[in-house]
Amino acid sequence: MRKKWHTVDAPAGKGFLISDCPVMTAELLGNQVLPGAGFGKENTAVLLPLSPEKLFVASPHNRSWRIVAEPRAVDMVNLLAVRFAHRNVYANVNSASTQSLVDLEIDQIVFGRNAFLPSSNSGVTSASLVG
pLDDT in tens, 8-26: 999 999 999 999 999 999 9
Cα–Cα–Cα angle for 118, 24, 26, nearest 5°? 45
Amino acid 58: pLDDT: 95
State what percent of residues in the chain have pLDDT above 90. Answer: 58
Amino acid 39: pLDDT: 85
Closest residue by Cα to residue 73 from 31, 44, 115 = 31
Cα–Cα–Cα angle for 34, 38, 44, nearest 5°? 55
